[in-house]
Amino acid sequence: MTDSQRAFELLRANDADGLRRLLEQDSAASDARDTTGVSLLMHSLYRGQRDVAELIASKKNALDIFEAAALGRLDRLKQCLDEASSRDASAINSRSKDGFSALHFACFFGQPAAARLLLESGASADAVAANPTQVMPLHSAASVRNLEAARLLLERGAPVNARQQNGWVPIHAAAQNGDRAMVELLLQHHADPKLANDDGKTPAMVAREKGHAEVAALLEK
C-alpha cells in the first residue's frame, strides 16, 4: 500500500493522529487523490473534518483553486485566479473532478469572502454542477445557511427559483433548516413559496415536517 492509499485509509478510520504522523514522515501524501481525482483535503472537508483539512493544507506545496475556495484562503485563491486568467478566462468556471465549481465550494463551506472574490473575478452565479445534484451556488449557500454568500449571489442575478436534483429550489433548503433569515432574503428576491418539489412538497410543507412552524407560517402568507 502506498502512503497516498494509506492516507485515505486513515482518513476513513477517523485516525487524525495516524494521518498526522504519516504526513510528517511523507508530506507528499498530502497531495493524494482518489481514483476519480478528488483530493484527500476535499474528502476531509466532505467528512466535516476541518482540522484535518487544515493539517493536510499545511503539508501541501500549493492548494488548487477548489481547495483554496473551500478553505477561504484568499491569497492563494487570488494566485489561482491570476494563473487561470493568464491561460483561459473561462477557467474560473472549471469544475472539480466531482463536478463543482470553486464558487460552489466557497458557498457550501461557508466562505463568503471567497465567494465575493470569485464573483468579482467573473465566476458564474448560475453555474450548474456537472453531476446528478444539479446544484447551483445558491442551492449550496442556502443549504448551509451561508446568508452573506446567498445575498451576493442574488445581487448578481443568481436564479432564485432554479431547480436542483429532485426538484428542490433554494427556499426548500432554507425551509428545511428553519432558516428564517434565508427564507426572508429569498422571498425578497421573488422566490416562489408555492413551488413543489418532485415529491409534491412546497417549502411550507417541508418546514412543517421539520418542526419549523414559524417559518412554515411565513411561507404560507
39 falls within a domain: yes
Domain membership of residue 20 (yes or no) is yes
**Of the candidates 91, 79, 11, the residue with the CA atom closest to the CA atom of residue 51:** 11
CB atoms within 10 A of CB 3: 15
Report if residue 34 sits inside a domain.
yes
Residue 57 lies in a domain: yes
Phi first, then psi: give them for residue 131, nearest 5 degrees. Answer: -160, 175
Per-residue pLDDT at 3: 94
Number of Cβ within a 10 Å radius of residue 25: 9
What is residue 135's three-state secondary structure? coil
The answer to whether residues 20 and 12 touch, using CB atoms and an 8 Å cutoff, is no
| Digit-coded pLDDT (tens) for 31-90 | 999 999 999 999 999 999 999 999 999 999 999 999 999 999 999 999 999 987 767 767
Tens-place pLDDT, residues 13-31: 999 999 999 999 999 999 9
Q: Count Cβ atoms below 10 Å from residue 217 Cβ, excluding itself.
A: 12
**pLDDT at residue 169 is higher than 80:** yes
Decide if 110 is inside a domain.
no
User: According to the model, what pLDDT value does residue 42 have?
Assistant: 98
**Domain hosting residue 36, numbered range:** 1-61
What local confidence, expressed as pLDDT, does residue 89 receive?
Answer: 67
**Could you report the per-residue pLDDT of 100-109, keeping only the tens digit for each?**
999 999 999 9
Q: What's the mean per-residue pLDDT of the chain?
A: 96
Q: Give me the pLDDT at residue 146, please.
A: 98
Residue 184 lies in a domain: no
Predicted local confidence at residue 73, as pLDDT: 98
Q: Residue 12: inside a domain, yes or no?
A: yes
The number of folded domains in the chain is 1
Q: Is residue 218 a part of any domain in this protein?
A: no
